[in-house]
Amino acid sequence: MRSAIDSREHLIEVATKVFAREGFAGTSLRMIAVEAGVSAALLVHHFGSKQRLIEETIETTLGEWMRDKDHLAELPLSEALSQWPQTAQDGQQKLAFFKQVMLSGGKPAQLLLERMHFEARERLTAMTKSGVMRDIADIDTAALLLAVYGMAPLILSEPVKKILGGDITDPEISEKLARSSLELFALIREGQTPPQTKERAGEK
Amino acid sequence: MRSAIDSREHLIEVATKVFAREGFAGTSLRMIAVEAGVSAALLVHHFGSKQRLIEETIETTLGEWMRDKDHLAELPLSEALSQWPQTAQDGQQKLAFFKQVMLSGGKPAQLLLERMHFEARERLTAMTKSGVMRDIADIDTAALLLAVYGMAPLILSEPVKKILGGDITDPEISEKLARSSLELFALIREGQTPPQTKERAGEK
DNA sequence: CGTTTTACTGAACGAGTGTTTAGTCTATTG
DNA sequence: CAATAGACTAAACACTCGTTCAGTAAAACG
């Protein structure tokens, strides 16, 4: 018998890959089992149920952004989302997995959106106080919209890809989208250089 | 035997309702059959397959916006999306159905996004030419982002609802979102009154 | 009228699902 | 070395799915 820990980690790895590609509902335990070269029963043996396996993959990939809001403010989710695509194929898979989590609804999607909402509000508040940005009447709602807009191109990535003729993870496409979103969010006072964080927020 | 046409229409009506609530993949023929008070076999008898039934419900609800782009420019999809919620429960169901179509991917989602892209580009072009708006470097990409951003709150309506404490179809919530999005898209030259179409585009 | 058509149903089929069970094999332990 | 524990599997179970089939009943047609 092999090392139980190694096997578990490998299974989570494969499961995450298939979930990212096919979605949670569209993935059967047998699909994961075949791709991992094991039996479906082994998945149940290790994780108890499909639901628990799903929860473990989510915890492994996105767990650090689903816990205490305040402590991890220095590792923003929005920044991670924009940096993942640069890390070759693994990053694209992470992005696709994140999309599936948001589409699956439930508590994880709720927590992740709340997290991005929190980050956007912090960013807006800081920029307003420093005078880089003109005042906003309802910062809370504006921050929520920024969070939602940030996820939108990813969630609609399939049809967007066909229109743009390339995936949104392509550096060229990504840059074009970032530039356009910056142009739309003309929050910055003219003559000032927009901070980098602002650019990342509106893009992905 | 009842009128075949009446029965078909009734079945499409019920199917649309269930699809809007549960999604296409999450709806079984038996669920629709029970809710319509018929047998599952009757659905196959009338429509041939589940896939064909799905296509008929999409055609019935959104067909007019999925055909010739140019001819129907006077009935924008984005405007319909913002007006549906005002027509009581039926409008909310239409909105939910639209969301499910976008989430299901495939050709219908593609056509609908292309339609909103087309509309947004026309709007941007007109506003730029008339001088109401400052120039935009890449109108095509900006229009795509506007279209995507317009759908975003609807597609993420579930977690958004929990954060805002009310559905985005509530007039109060809807107005708040529209006001904030207007504030974000500060495209209008200061001192000018924003046209109504602009407001609708950024809201829903 | 009798015949044909067709809306409609209950039951079953085959495929796929998550999960359970009984059992095999092997590394570790006492 | 013998016993135990646990990784692992093939097979089956109970269920749901879309779809098929044989048959019923009633409307439409000649």
Q: In chain B, which residues have pLDDT < 70?
A: 1-5, 69-73, 187-204
Q: Is the CB of B25 under 7 A from strand D?
A: no
pLDDT for res B187: 59
Interface contact A38, partner B, CB < 8 A: no
Residue B25 DSSP label: T
The secondary structure of chain A as a DSSP string is ---HHHHHHHHHHHHHHHHHHH-STT--HHHHHHHHTS-HHHHHHHHSSHHHHHHHHHHHHHGGGSS-TTTTTTS-HHHHHHHGGGSHHHHHHHHHHHHHHHHH-HHHHHHHHHHHHHHHHHHHHHHHHTTSB---S-HHHHHHHHHHHHHHHHHTHHHHHHHHTS-TTSHHHHHHHHHHHHHH-TTBPTTSPPPHHHHHHHH-
Return d(Cα B158, Cα B153) in angstroms, integer: 9
The whole model's pTM is what? 0.89
- Interface mutation target, options A24, A128, A149, A204, chain B, most CBs of B under 10 Å: A149
Q: List per-residue pLDDT tens for chain A, 204 residues long.
A: 456 667 899 999 999 999 999 999 999 999 999 999 999 999 999 999 999 999 999 999 999 999 876 666 677 888 888 888 888 778 899 999 999 999 999 999 999 999 999 999 999 999 888 887 888 889 999 999 999 999 999 999 999 999 999 999 999 999 999 999 988 887 655 544 444 443 443 343
Interface contact B182, partner A, CB < 8 A: no
Q: How far is the CA of A24 from the C1' of C12 (A)?
A: 31
Q: Which nucleotide is nearest to B43 (CA to C1')?
A: C8
CA distance B126 to chain A (A): 16
pLDDT for res B203: 41
pLDDT for res B4: 64
Residues from chain A contacting residue B141 (CB–CB below 8 Å): 164, 176-177, 179-180
Q: Do A151 and B156 touch (CB under 8 A)?
A: yes
Q: Is the CB of A162 under 7 A from strand D?
A: no
Interface contact A68, partner B, CB < 8 A: no
pLDDT for res B197: 41
